[in-house]
Structure 1
Amino acid sequence: MEVGLAVGGAFLSSALNVLFDRLAPQGELLKMFQKRKNDVHLLKKLRMTLLGLQAVLSDAENKQASNQFVSQWLNEFRHAVDSAENLIEQVNYEALRLKVEGQHQNLAETSNQQVSDDFFFNIKDKLEETIETLEVLEKQIGRLGLKEYFGSIKQETRTPSTSLVDDSDNFGRQSEIEDLIDRLMSEDANGKKLTVVPIVGMGGVGKTTLAKAVYNDEKVKHHFGLKAWFCVFEAYDAFRITKGLLQEVGSFDLKDDDNLNQLQVKLKGSLNGKKFLVVLDDVWNDNYHEWDDLSNLFVQGHMGSKIIVTTRKESVALMMGSGAINVGTLSSEVSWDLFKRHSLENRDPKEHPELEEVRKKIADKCGGLPLALKALAGILRCKAEVDEWRNILRSEIWELPSCFNDQVIHLWIANGILPKLHSGNQYFLELISRSLFERVPKSKGKPDGFLMHDLVNDLAQVASSKLSIRLEENKGSHMLEQSRHMSYLMGYGDFEKLKPLYKLEQLRTLLPITNYHRNRLSNRVMHNILPRLTSLRALSLSHYEIFELPNDLFIKLKLLRFLDLSQTAIKRLPDSICALYNLETLLLSSCYCLEELPLQMERLINLRHLDISNTSRLKMLLHLSKLKNLQSRWFENGRFGEVQNLYGSLSVLELQNVVDRREAVKAKMREKIHVEKLSLEWSDSVADNSQTERDILDELHPHTNIKQLQIIGYRGAKFPNWLADPLFLKLVQLSLSNCKDCDSLPALGQLPSLKFLLIRGMHRITEVTEEFYGSSSSKKPFNSLEKLEFEGMPEKWRVPTLEKLSIENCPKLMGKLPENLCSLTELSISRCPELNLETPIQLSSLQIFGVFDSLLFYEAGLFTSQLEGMKQIVDLSVGDCNSLTSLPFSILPSTLKTIWIYHCRELKLELPVDEMSYCNMFLDDLTLEECDSISPELLPRARTLWAISFPNLTRFLIPTATEALSIWSCENHEKLSVAFPSAITYLHIDDCSKLKWLPEQMQELLPSLKELILENCPEIESFPEGGLPFNLQKLEILHCKKLVNAQKEWRLQKLPCLRDLVIKHDSSDKEIEHWEFPYSIRQLTIGNLKVSPLFNIYVLRSMLEQGRFSSFSHLTSLQSLHIRNFPNLQSLSESALPSSLSQLTIQHCPNLQAFSESALPSSLSELTIQHCRNLQLLSESALPSSLSELTIQDCPNLQLLPVKGMPSSLSKLYIYDCPLLKPLLEFDKGEYWPNIAQIPIIEIDQEFPPFTQYSVAAPVFAIRDSRGLKMDFRQYEQQ
């Protein structure tokens, strides 16, 4: 509860700070009121009243938890402060407006003349009302017993750690303990008397436990003459630390209590000449000067004295000294042991075997953190019910994107919590150090992401529950009225969900949370709800499928500072956005349709952050360079030299247009100290002068703070020297692409922090020389490199810490790989026919190995030895390696889970049959493609098996352990059999033109089979005599001519679980309407019926118009019907459709003219009519009362809609390309609008009409193009 109150206080304090800043005696606001003497006193009165109330704010926050009247007083105070802030911000907006319009240079003298009297009178009335409320609150201070408090905020109190240790808690830490003891008992290599050993790790990982174990070790006790333990905490206090250590060494005297100098002199004397061990636990302060002063107390100790410092902060560890011990999380096995000890003490785990699996999952969920393990174990040790334990498993890991920190900081700034970006980064790092967020490194050079555990998320919600809510979890209107910051899960339309926002005039932040589906925002939300939220500081519409914003959307949102429209489909921004003079952040990234920005964007004088990355259609405007406050944006070359305060990412494109060095100098790249990611790009062209190109790139030298650098299409022959400057201490990612004229590489080995290096498309590079590594020095080249990618590069390199290596398309690359690849985990070699492994290399850490189209191994025995050395390999891929003749599965490590072998026509598996029982391998996935010499009888066990293009395969025996089997393009395959009961659940056979027989006794030998797909197998005549397995759920028969013609013998009625049936064939079947199907069928697709047009019209039309569905009539589960390409269908008559139908789609029926009354079943919820160009009307009673979604597209003659008969259940209405209806449906003006305005989602002629969607679970009957003109529907439309 106290945490939540503190957060609420932080918001209130920030609002007061904004007000005091605006009401400053020399501020612009007071200047605007100077000639209105009667009004100036109001501002002064407001300021003095707020100062008096602020004095008791701290006391009120401390008492609100125990006094409901104080809590209510605080809520009213907060509301009054918000009202005052909004009024002042409105006046400030008018000042900005006048400044932008530039009507007067001297704003202080004449601005009051430009603001209307009505505006001032309105502000004055509201201001007097607010001051009156504040004065009433001020009078209640004494009655509530609130006292003035001007001191600093009270620090939280925690029980300090002690040196007492429980040896049984040292799970899995023995190696760290031994390492730390060795370091404590060894002398410093540089002869220093005192050594500091930092222990660093996240909260709860066991740093203090490790320090305790060493502190109490018997060898350590005898080694040091004096020991002291002190818990420092966050607040650094030299008095407290000195007194605490004096108490530990037994020299504390009460008379010295208030004299720091005497205390420190006495402590230094007590340690003088003694070999001591001091533990400073939980240190947070990374102020070097304060640490330097403190460390001076210890320098007179005896040689070999040590200080152990435990900390969460890397900065503290770096400040203390080198050689920090990083404490990692516990392994899964150790976590389980620790969890058992605390949750099952004095209990036998065998008493509740059903809890065993749940307990292990809970232990894994703690992420190896001992503190979390013990805390959860302590909670659950008294709970015996399985459900109580499973509730813990429902907590989630909240994955946050890499851009999350930037967005949070911009939101803080928008709400006045922080003044600028730099301080925001510092605060965010503090939250990481306190384990609120956990940094997660990304692979392949991508920026880090973040994790938030569900338990932490719950805590954050409690802490901010009065002011920040999720709309879905709101339990009462009073919570809505109090809230200032709101998020909600995006839906389709969202009008009904957002209706409660009508009354929330004080709302400051509105953020939708994407579910990564296609979500549309109702026009009614943008026209009727958003403009009412006049107090908004932050608004996001990101990820909505918005094509156009209302022109007047932003006219009333004058206080908006943060606007996120990223990943929307807008083509242009409305001009009203240029009136957002307070706007600081505008995010338009990945707006792929965005073509232009408003001409008056320069009016956004406070805009600091503009993100228009991934907007390829956008034409840059020259006047953007007039936005002087921008700190991050994307620029064209030459438009940004005067802007020095850029933050984040910068892309400079079309550099081929830079004529000479002088033009590049204007960019002033070295002065842009906050740019962390830089991209320099030339288009594909030939340079006139190579030296000029180098001079230009030389002048584009970035600041040494750069972290990521990309150079694309550079046209010089040599790179400038700065590219390999060791002073780039922060550069971790470098990409050089398509620099086709370069004939040498710079000394990139000198870059000390480089982790990811990509070199691609540099065709003139013939050799990687010693220059690549850098000048000879004591430092190792590429000391930090983790991933190196070469494409089109030759032969020599060495990188000792390399983890991932990819060599692609290097046809002339000869020789061998380096021997020292002990850190390599991923190796991929493709299209390098001259590369070989003549000498064995160390690949013991390799987990993923792929080689394609390369003559890699000269000897099969060498390949065998290499594979035997890959003790950790998980994934093996080999393709187009004709030199490979043998692959002995019996010697492969048991860690291997996936094997893919492609186009190795000489490869044989020479493992004798009797040795198969000795092979302990069980793969997850085995794929063999175009391997003519491999015998299917000699395969390792695999859960999923793919056999593709085996021309010599005639018979195949289904392995007993295989769960999914696919056999494709085996032209001579004749028989599939099974000898013993198999675990197979999925069987797919495709393009086996000679296959005649499926396995006999499928019901008994394949009891688990759920999905069977037979495709392009024209010789299969029938299913086995005993029929298909009873558990079969899905059956697809595609182009199996003889099998479909024998449909009467399928006996599908005996399959009680069959839900999905797909039939597609090229033969004529005049008895389709008499086919018999099981009652359980829920989805039925019949396609490509090549019969005479007359028969199609007769049979299918009669089925539709006369309701004569024959054997289809018993399909009572049928819910979805798709009718397409019936040229003679003119109308839908009554009772022509199944009564169970919920989805109906009618397409390309050119002569359909009308729907008669009651033609649609009362169960119908979705109706789609598309490309019916002669449809003229829907009768008043045509639409059933159950209809929720209506889509009409490309019906140019449709002139009437049953708007008076529109069912009240209709929630989505989509009309596209219906010119006669469009004026009738126009927003707020059309004749039909009053009748449809209540529909939550209405879309008229937007650019991208919705695709016809089908629920996967819904039963479907598809009748498609009777003339075979289109493949149709769901699975087939993608083929």
Structure 2
Amino acid sequence: MKERPHRLNFCNNNPILVLQIPLANMVDLAYGLAGSLLQKLGSLVYQELRLAWGLQSDLKKIERTISIIKIVLLDAEDRQASNPKLSIWLRQLKDILYDAEDVVDEIEYKALRKQAITAYGSTSPKVRHFFSSSMALSSRLQLAYKIKDIRKRLDEINTSKDQFNLTEQREEVHVMPQWREMTHSGVESSVIGRHLDKEKIIEAMMKADGNVNVISIVGLGGLGKTTLAKLVYNDETVVSHFQLRMWVCVSTDFRVTRLMEEILKSVGHGVDKNSSNVDMMQKSLRDFLKNKRFLLVLDDVWNENRNKWIELTDLLNGGSHGSVVVVTTRIHNVSSISGPVYMHPLDGLPKEECLSLFVKCAFKEGEDKRHPNLVSIADEIVEKCKGVPLAVKSLGGMLYSKVDEREWNLVRDNEIWELEEKEGDILPALQLSYNQMPIHLKRCLAYCVNFPKDHEFFNVVLIQQWMAHGLILQLPVNKTQELEDVGDLYIKELMSRCFFQDFEEFGLYYFFKMHDLVHDLVLSIAHEEWLEIDSENKEIASTVRHLSISYDGPLRVSKSPNKLTSVRTIIYQTEPHMSSVEACISRFKSLRLLDLSDSNFENLPSSIGTQKHLRYLNLSGNESIKKLPNSVCKLHNLQTLILEGCVTLERLPKDIRNLINLRLITITTKDTCLLENGACCFNSLRILVVVECPRLECLFPQMDRCLTNLRVLVFTRCESLTYLLPIIKHLTVLESLYIVDCKEMDLTGGGRGGDAQDLNLKLQILCIEKLPKLEVLPEWLLGSANTLKYLHIEGCGNLKALPEWLPTMKSLQTLEIIDCKELSSLPEGIHHMKTLRKLKIEECRKLVTRSEDWSNIPGLEVLVSGNAEDDEEDRRTALA
């Protein structure tokens, strides 16, 4: 299984012209907050809570007032540009709704705390007697006061709205489109009209004879410079010509030390995170490039300082003759100072190719033939896109599967096309596509301001962060659907609209990126709510909800009360100073997300237990922390806890089972059992990832009461874990199982755990890698005969044959077998599995199979290489 980092990094962003989008975003935020509050207040669980807490009357009035305000907000969006007072009213409303969300979440927190203590008790006498004491009464009175204050403020702002004469409007019910599967395996098959450009650049590469030959690709944003560079980078001729290929996204941060680090990382050469020795880094880079003909792509370069460029090229001079640096940039002056041997100006696509691209994005296969009127309108829309592929794809994706001519005409005739475009503006097509999105998607996209350009998103992590901020709403059509599944639909719709791209799939999970112009758009949308702190005394405005901290010294946090409730996200992009962490935890009391990844402190402050709103805590990569304070277990709202890479962590806190709302946890520990302190009941847990636990022998002592809703289970580098069957037989809703590099793992169960064939499993994904004891696939897999879709086997050197029952897997779509050197045969009947859509067999030296052997399966994508048939062909070629 390919490993990817999931921590967040940041780079400085280019200042861009902010248009009318932030005003619209204020309405989107208020509308979205109102919707999520109403969904919470209207849920059956919440109705029970407010009765139990004696808050029925006030909460009912709050719910009614929010409903009244919500239905006029869409009219406010149209009027606010011409009425400054309305914008002020919207900002005040948004602040009240944020405060209301805090109060509603506090009720939920108290209910969860009572539930945990009722289930497991408490070691603290104070806690045991809290709910029957005067302290409990005092707490309820404080909460009741907060609710009355919210109700009063909402009543006042509801009354003041009458001066604007707003009319009622309701958002159109939005149905998620059906996801279009990616049928191509790379960039090449999805690109239209750039093959001549590619040939010219490769021709210039082959002629290069200096030590550092610069080739620049220059063009406006959205024309496809990066896509063209990828086409060149992955071309077979280029791959075979260069001994080393490297890719770095530069953006505005052209610090040479940073570029050195990124170049080394791109070739898998790790850089010590605790090392600041520039001389050592320079030596490593020179040694690595010495006498090698390399290709380095510097993507999205903005630097116009020639001295910085000379400093970088001096470091690259040690490569062989013919080494090439490809620079993509929007600015001609950037190209000029780099002294290119060849400059390739990228023009817009011709009209015919733009229309072809639009049709591909907007219609299902063959559907355009049935709608000639829509194709005629498409021709006029494409004309307005001025040859920019990103604009064409964005609008095509937005109109996908829509057959109402009025919707197409609205796009063609939108007044946004009449705005005067200036350099640095957001593409009108992107603005239009954003404006046409449903509000829940706008809010999710705006959150992505927290990520840098060229960041590689992992769908699981992004969804957990959206959930931490309450951005994912239960779909009314399927209230039993998991929030993780709804978030997955959000990502896929944003992808279909071209806000996300570079889709790379691994089973049912995937990675993707944002185009740099989309990043500019997101920054223009959410600039008021996001701030990077890069100095000691940077002021935090009251509108800021998300903080990125790049300052590595002590942080002074304002004590002003109005600035303590606004911040909901804190992400450190450098190793945090402990005093800074303590200040943030003690001062910001509305945090939903705290990312302390790659930190190096030995103790997490015990004050972390006061963060009752916290949903997401990331401590990954901390190699010094030995234990967590037990106060972490007071975070009853916590949904995501990431402890991966905490290699000195001795054990989990003793009361970890009190985290009854936990949905995802990744764990690295030196302990032999994850929870030795009695029974565990992680019934909210959906994803469990156990990484680098060399002593781990068991998960929990009483598995029959654990993990009843677990859907994803991952074991990586757990050398002492031997048997899986006693664990898996209790996981009746498990969908994905990944087992990687577990040297003692025996999947057959070793005769323990009962009859494996009786297991009623619902696995969809099974990925097994580097299991030396695996000789045959376990029979308990038959329990997933109707559900298994993806089977990946890699690096299992003792696997000799696949079982004869494998062709009975009725849903199997993807089969990947890689580097299984003893595998010599496939089961009879496997060539007739009609459900298969993708087959990959690589480096199986004893296996004889050819691509043509699979011609019986229609539509099957086959990749077969490095097997016995290939060896024989190579031998015959060598003899000839």
Cα separation, 2, equivalents of 1:10 and 1:140? 20
Higher normalized helix content (fraction of residues): 2
1:510 corresponding residue in structure 2: 569
Counterpart of 2:591 in structure 1 is: 536
Report what 2:105 is aligned to: 89
**Paired residue for 1:481?**
542
Q: 1:284 to 1:455 in 2, by over 3 A?
A: closer
Q: 1:618 to 1:481 in 2, by over 3 A?
A: farther
Deviation of 1:67 after TM superposition, in Å, equals: 1.5
TM-aligned CA deviation for residue 735 of structure 1: 2.7
- Aligned partner of 2:848 in structure 1 is 796
The C-alpha deviation readout for 1:452-471, integer Å capped at 9, x for no partner, is: 12211010111223333444
Per the alignment, residue 416 of structure 1 pairs with 470
The separation in 1 between residues aligned to 2:788 and 2:741, in whole angstroms, is: 23
- For 2:712, the aligned partner's letter is G
* 1:648 and 2:685 aligned: no
Q: Structure 1 pair 715/656, CA: closer, same or farther in 2 (3 Å)?
A: farther
- SS of the aligned residue for 2:839 comes to coil
Query: Structure 1 residues 67, 206: CA separation in 2 closer, same or farther (over 3 Å shift)?
Result: farther
Change (3 A) 1:698 1:678: farther
Could you tell me which residue of structure 2 aligns to residue 52 of structure 1? 68
- Which residue matches 1:734? 793
CA distance in 2, matches of 1:456, 1:435: 9
Q: Contact 2:359/2:396 (CA < 8 Å) preserved in 1?
A: no
User: SS where residue 439 of structure 1 aligns?
Assistant: strand
- Counterpart position of 2:16: none
Report the Cα offset of residue 170 of structure 1.
9.4
Deviations 1:724-769 (A, max 9, x none): 99866631522362547x576668799864363234475xx6xx23
The yes-or-no answer on 1:463 pairing with 2:518 is no
Call closer, same or farther: CA 1:456–1:525 in 2, change over 3 Å: same
Rate the CA distance shift 1:30–1:520 in 2: closer, same or farther, 3 A. Answer: same
How does 1:1071-1082 map onto structure 2 within 5 Å?
A: none
How many angstroms does 1:559 deviate by?
Answer: 1.0
- Give 1:410's aligned amino acid: Q
Q: Is residue 438 of structure 1 aligned with residue 501 of structure 2?
A: yes
Answer whether contact 1:233 1:284 (CA < 8 A) is retained.
no
Deviations along 1:797-838, one digit per CA (max 9) or x if unpaired, are 43467758457xxxxxxxx643xxxxxxxxxx8xxxxx7844
Partner of 1:1124: none
Q: Tell me how far apart the structure 2 counterparts of residues 414 and 511 of structure 1 sit (CA, whole Å).
A: 12
Post-superposition CA distance 1:1033-1052 (Å, at most 9, x none) = xxxxxxxxxxxxxxxxxxxx
Structure 2 residue aligned with 1:144: 164
Q: Residue 693 of structure 1 contacts residue 715 of structure 1 at CA under 8 Å; is this kept in 2?
A: no
Q: Helix, strand or coil: the match of 2:374? A: strand
Distance 1:499 1:463, change over 3 A: same
Contact 2:37 / 2:101 at 8 angstroms: preserved in 1? yes
- Cα distance change of structure 1 residues 759 and 702 upon mapping to structure 2, 3 Å threshold: farther
Residues 487-540 of structure 1 show CA distances to partners (whole Å, capped at 9, x for unaligned) of: 4253433525x66998632234324263xxxx4322222322322111111111
Structure 1 residues 640, 54: CA separation in 2 closer, same or farther (over 3 Å shift)?
Answer: same
TM-superposition CA deviations, 1:74-125 (whole Å, max 9, x none): 11111122222223332332233222222999xxxx9686753433443344
* TM-score (normalised: structure 1): 0.40
Distance 1:127 1:685, change over 3 A: closer
Residue by residue over 1:625-656, the C-alpha shift from the partner in whole angstroms, topping out at 9 and shown as x without a partner, is 31111111147467545534223343397898
2:514 corresponds to 1:452: yes
* Cα pair distance change 1:708/1:487, threshold 3 Å: farther
Deviations 1:278-332 (A, max 9, x none): xx98685669xxx9xx9xxxxxxxxxxxxxxx9xxxxxxxxxxxxxxxxxxxxxx
CA distance in 2, matches of 1:63, 1:154: 23
Q: What is the letter of the counterpart of residue 506 of structure 1?
A: T
Normalized per residue, which structure has more strand?
A: 1
Asked whether the 8 Å contact 1:736–1:759 carries over to 2, the reply is: yes
- Alignment-mate amino acid for residue 839 of structure 1: R
**Secondary structure at the residue paired with 2:33?**
helix
Give the 5 Å matches for 1:789-828: 789-790=843-844, 794=846, 796-799=848-851, 805=865, 817-818=869-870
Contact kept, 8 Å, 1:512 with 1:541, in 2: the verdict is: yes
Q: Which amino acid is 1:648 matched to?
A: V
Question: CA-atom RMSD, angstroms?
Answer: 5.2
Name the SS for the 1:140 alignment partner: helix
Q: Give the drift of 1:783.
A: 6.9
* Alpha-carbon distance, 1:446 to partner: 12
Secondary structure in structure 2 of the residue aligned to 1:576: helix
Letter aligned with residue 735 of structure 1: E
Measure, in 2, the Cα distance between the counterparts of 1:537 and 1:212.
40
Secondary structure, in 3 states, of the residue corresponding to 2:105? helix
Structure 2 runs not aligned, ≥5 long: 1-18, 122-129, 176-190, 197-226, 229-347, 361-365, 379-394, 409-423, 431-450, 474-482, 691-697, 853-860
What corresponds to 2:115 in structure 1? Answer: 99
Quote the residue 2:649 is aligned against: 594
RCO greater where, 1 or 2, for CA within 8 Å and sep 6 or more? 2
Q: Deviations over 1:885-916 (max 9, x none)?
A: xxxxxxxxxxxxxxxxxxxxxxxxxxxxxxxx
| Contact 1:11 1:417 survives alignment (8 Å) | no
User: How many residues are matched?
Assistant: 594
Once the 2 structures are TM-superposed, how far is the Cα of residue 442 of structure 1 from its aligned partner?
7.4
Percent of aligned pairs with the same amino acid: 19
Q: 2:489 aligns with which of 404, 426, 430?
A: 426
Query: Which residue in the other structure is 2:415 paired with?
Result: none
TM-score of the pair, normalised by structure 2: 0.57
Matches within 5 A, 1:603-1002: 603-612=658-667, 614-615=668-669, 619-622=673-676, 623=678, 625-634=680-689, 636=698, 640=703, 643-651=707-715, 663=726, 667-669=729-731, 671-673=732-734, 675-679=735-739, 684=744, 692=751, 698=757, 703-706=762-765, 708-710=767-769, 712-714=771-773, 720=779, 722=781, 730-731=789-790, 733-735=792-794, 737-739=796-798, 753-754=813-814, 756-760=816-820, 762=822, 768-769=824-825, 772=826, 774-775=828-829, 784-786=838-840, 788-790=842-844, 794=846, 796-799=848-851, 805=865, 817-818=869-870, 837-840=874-877, 857=878, 859=879, 862=880
Cα distance, 1:141 vs. partner? 1.7
**Counterpart residue type for residue 138 of structure 2:** D
String of CA shifts for 1:151-196, please: whole Å, max 9, x gaps: 63899xxxxxxxxxxxxx995799xxxxxxxxxxxxxxxxxxxxxx
What is the alpha-carbon distance in structure 2 between the residues aligned to residue 739 and residue 696 of structure 1?
24
Cα deviation code 1:379-404 (max 9, x no counterpart):
xxxxxxxxxxxxxxxxx99333353x
1:480 is paired with a residue whose SS is coil
Q: Distance in 2 between matches of 1:725 and 1:19?
A: 39
Identify the match of residue 356 of structure 2 among 192, 210, 216: 210
Aligned to 1:9: 27
The 5 Å alignment of 1:1169-1208 reads none
Report the CA distance shift for 1:474/1:432 in structure 2 as closer, same or farther (over 3 A). Answer: farther
Task: State the match for 1:252 in structure 2.
Answer: none
Question: What amino acid does structure 2 have at the position aligned with 1:561?
Answer: R
Q: 1:640 to 1:170 in 2, by over 3 A?
A: closer
CA–CA separation in structure 2 for the residues paired with 1:618 and 1:399: 39
Instruction: Write the distance in 2 (CA, Å) between the matches of 1:473 and 1:398.
Output: 22
CA contact (8 A) 2:503 2:513 kept: yes
- Look up the SS of the partner of 1:839 in the other structure: helix
> In 2, are the aligned partners of 1:397 and 1:452 still within 8 Å (CA)?
no
Match of 2:614 in 1: 560
Whole-Å separation in 1 of the counterparts to 2:653 and 2:614: 18
Structure 2 counterpart of 1:119, from 126, 139, 146: 139
The separation in 1 between residues aligned to 2:590 and 2:749, in whole angstroms, is 57
Q: Paired residue for 2:552, among 492, 500, 503?
A: 492
